[in-house]
Amino acid sequence: MTAPVPRRQGLPIALVLGAAAGLLFAPAASPTGLAIAIGAALLGGLAGARTARSRARAFVVPAAALLVVLAGALATALLDRLPPGLVPWPLLLARGREALALGAPALAGALLLAHAAARVPAMRVLPLTALVGAAALLLAPHRGGAIHLPYAVSDRAFLTGWHPALVFSALGAIAGVVGSLALYRPGRARRAWLAGLLLLLAAVTLIRFAPGLGLLRLPSEDPLRLAGDPRGERGGGAGGERPQAPRGGQNPLGLTVPGPGHGERPDEMAPFRDDYTSAGAEAPVAVVVLHDDVEPSNGVFYFRQVAFAVHNGRRLVRARDSADAEGAGLDADLFDGFPAPGARDTRALPPGGAFRDPLHATVSLVRDHVLPPVLADGFAIESVPNADPALFRRTYDTRSMVLTAKLPRLLGRTAGDPRWPAAQDAALREAPRDPRYAALAAEIDATLRPEYAGDPWARALAVAVWLEEHTQYSLRSRHAAADDPTGSFLFGDRIGYCVHLAHATAYLLRAMGLPSRVAAGYAYEAADRAGGSALLLRAGDAHAWAELYLDGVGWVPIDSSPPSIDPPLAAPSLDLQRLLGELARPRPGGAGRGTPAPYRLPGRAETLLVLGSALLAWAGVGHAAKLWRRLAPRLARRDRAARLALRAALDRLAETGLVRATGETREAFAARAAAAAPAIEPLTAAHLAARFGGRPAEPRAAAGLARAVAQQRATDAGRGARARVWWGRLDPWRWVRSR
């Protein structure tokens, strides 16, 4: 067996193992459990190093470790099986269980690792490996630049207001320094730690100032890697079931603007298209923070960007884009762009206050949009400072009246508004000339129970129900080439997506003489917010739906969701939704509203304070150690007097720049240094006589020689040499060089 590790290495091994246990259990454990785990690892480390020096047989320690693990598991299982109520203190029970579950493995693992490390030199790398592994496990979710992971780190960063990128950079710097320190030879550890400390300070300083110097680019576009496939398109938006191949919409830099799914121009939104896929449907496009707790009546939040009211023979289009209809009033409730910064854009208050509740929301767009998605029915939007320019393209407040009335209350209203000009009323009721729509509308009317016959709301519901029962939802449709894609869908294979369904609904309603239109934007299942106030809109939430106008109520969505033959879009990640919601939430205090200062960077004074105190601590510790080494010979026992005196003398010589070269013997150095301080020779001789000759020196004489060296050195030196001596005296860590 090789020589075991000397006694003093037990503590470092235990400390490293304790740190590893801390890192490993930090995300999962309560503070108490964490403390217990660290304590157990420390204990195990010390015990492991201690047992390595004993003469115990090789299997004893692994067996003991196994026993500890088994005992811990057994005790945990027993606690789990205690009948409830047997122990009156459930919290204590939970704590005890956690202590056992974490402490036992930590103790056993540390025992085993420390024992191996202390017993076999080649295994000394094990504790460090454990530490590195624990750190890597902790930070593993961070790979790929996902700054919101791991939450244990990013949450804390968000709470304190530090930019996570800075925090992770600092962690990386620490890891780099610790890693390089671990590679140092043991003999040089003291200098290595010193160098590592300085390196760390430099790294932290650099990271602090890096953003200002342009060295560290705080992610400005898509830092969360939310876009998914980089080939995917930006944008989304109405009918955003997105085409596979980007067709325009992306400039060569890849920065853009609405993708084709969204339409390069507002009039191209929600087109009929056969080549949609659901690729990239998970990509976030916007984050909405609700300021009022409002539940929409049909369980869906509709974010309307655009509405198509005018039939152009093939489909419905915006009034302003149609050739013949003068747009009077048809688009009056729509927002055709974002207001200028700080400006407010208002529309007439939607009717039906008794059926609606006001909802104030803040929308932060992750993707560029041409038209603002506004929660229906919106009456005002206002540009506000971007909640986080690093994450969002823009932020705006919307104020809406959301339909919240119980749906049966809508029965018995008339459709349309008598105040409408005739042209507008006619446009909203203009159905395609295809007689099949009227025939189908009549067929659906016939299914209504007599008491509901003629009621607009009941007829609209009947249309929706009929569509749900007779069509199938799929993005893979075959109708884009038809003259009337809606007709091709409705009277063909009846397989289509929301644009088809919305048009079919609107046409059937119009065929019944009810004023309706098709709206496009995003639809969000209210249940997905899981009680939170943040809504994460994703590309897959892009939607088109039909709307019916009821007198005194306003536009009411008529949305049918027939069975889908496509794989459904999963609910948004609640964590991501909540996180982005926190990021998008306007900062309290008002100041944040005026100036976009999303993250705290330490101020200059703060930085200087930290650096200054670090520097002071660095110098203070060094000078204290130096002073101690200087005074030690006077207090030394006889058997170490010569050694401490020589050490003090070497420190003083090091201050003048005289240092023993590697490979130079003590005698040779003394002969060389005797020119500056003759007393070094007898002192060296006394030290060596004590060390090699077993003849302890007289403490007083040795201390006297050390003082003589201090007085003699460089007294007659020139100005340059004197300056060097002064610098050597000021240098708090010069003594590290004496050897």
Q: Let me know if 570 is exposed, middle or buried by CB neighbors in 10 A (0-12, 13-18, 19+).
A: exposed
* Closer to other proteins by Cβ: residue 513 or 622: 622
Q: Which of 146, 611, 689, 708 binds other proteins (CB under 8 A)?
A: 689
Nearer to other proteins, 606 or 667 (CB): 667
For helices 125-139 and 164-182, the axis angle rounded to 10 degrees is 170
Shortest CB 650 distance to other proteins, Å: 8
| Amino acid identity, position 198 | L
Which residues, other chains included, contact 372 with Cβ-Cβ below 8 Å and sequence gap of 6+? 305, 335, 337, 338, 363, 381, 396, 398
- Exactly one of 83, 122, 692, 719 binds other proteins (CB under 8 A); which one? 692
Does the protein bind other proteins through residue 688 (CB under 8 A)?
yes
Could you tell me if 23 and 138 are in contact, meaning their C-beta atoms sit under 8 angstroms apart?
yes
Site for other proteins (CB under 8 A): which residue of 262, 630, 666, 734?
Answer: 666
Exposure of 407 in the CB half-sphere (CA atoms within 13 A) = 12
d(CA 320, CA 322): 6
472-473 and 495-496: which strand pairing? Answer: parallel
Which residue from 60, 189, 609, 668 is in contact with other proteins, where contact means CB under 8 A? 668
State which residue, 202 or 668, has the beta carbon closest to other proteins: 668
Indicate whether 443 belongs to the interface with other proteins (CB under 8 A).
Answer: no
Candidates 413-421, 440-448, 475-483, 657-665: pick the segment binding other proteins (CB under 8 A): 657-665
- Least distance (Å) between residue 739 CB and other proteins: 5
Q: Which of 187, 214, 531, 718 contacts other proteins by CB under 8 A?
A: 187
CB closer to other proteins, 120 vs 685: 685
Contact 437, 431 (CB under 8 A): yes
Closer residue to other proteins, CB minimum distance, 367 or 737:
737
Q: Residue 70 interacts with other proteins (CB under 8 A)?
A: no
Is 663 a residue that touches other proteins (CB under 8 A)?
A: yes
**Pair 389, 598: CB distance under 8 Å:** yes
Stretch of 215-223, 447-455, 465-473, 663-671 lying at the interface with other proteins (CB under 8 A): 663-671
What character string, x for contact with other proteins (CB under 8 A) and - otherwise, covers 611-650? Answer: -----------------------------x--x--xx--x
Q: By rule CB under 8 A, what count of residues binds other proteins?
A: 24
Phi and psi at 642, nearest 5°, equal -65, -40
- What residue has token string 């530490």? 131
Taking contact as CB under 8 A, which single stretch among the options 266-274, 397-405, 439-447, 659-667 is the one that binds other proteins? 659-667
Shorter beta-carbon distance to other proteins: residue 8 or 719: 8
In terms of Cβ atoms closer than 10 Å to its own Cβ (0-12, 13-18, 19+), residue 265 is: exposed
Least distance between other proteins and beta carbon 615 (Å): 28
Considering only the stretches 247-255, 282-290, 339-347, 692-700, report the one whose residues sit in contact with other proteins under the rule CB under 8 A.
692-700
Q: Looking at 70-78, 348-356, 605-613, 661-669, which segment touches other proteins (CB under 8 A)?
A: 661-669
What secondary structure letter does DSSP report for 62?
A: H
Q: How far is the CB of 103 from other proteins (least distance, A)?
A: 35
Task: With contacts defined by CB under 8 A, name the span among 192-200, 419-427, 500-508, 693-701 that binds other proteins.
Answer: 693-701
426-429: Cβ within 8 A, 24+ apart: 427/309, 427/310, 427/311, 427/319, 427/325, 427/330, 428/309, 428/330, 428/510, 428/515, 428/516, 428/517, 428/549, 429/510, 429/513, 429/514, 429/515
Q: Rank residues 31 and 187 by Cβ distance to other proteins and give the closer one.
A: 187
Q: Is 221 in the site for other proteins (CB under 8 A)?
A: no
Q: What are phi and psi of 126, to 5 degrees?
A: -60, -50
662 binds other proteins (CB under 8 A): yes
Phi and psi of 520, rounded to 5°? Answer: -135, 150
Residues 6 or more apart whose CB falls under 8 angstroms from that of 10 comprise: 45, 46, 49, 50, 114, 118
> Strand pairing partners for 288?
363, 535
| By the rule CB under 8 A, 186 interacts with other proteins | no
The nearest distance, CB 616 to other proteins, in angstroms, is: 28
- The residues that touch other proteins, with contacts defined as CB under 8 A, are 187, 640, 643, 646-647, 650, 660, 662-663, 665-668, 685, 687-689, 691-695, 738-739
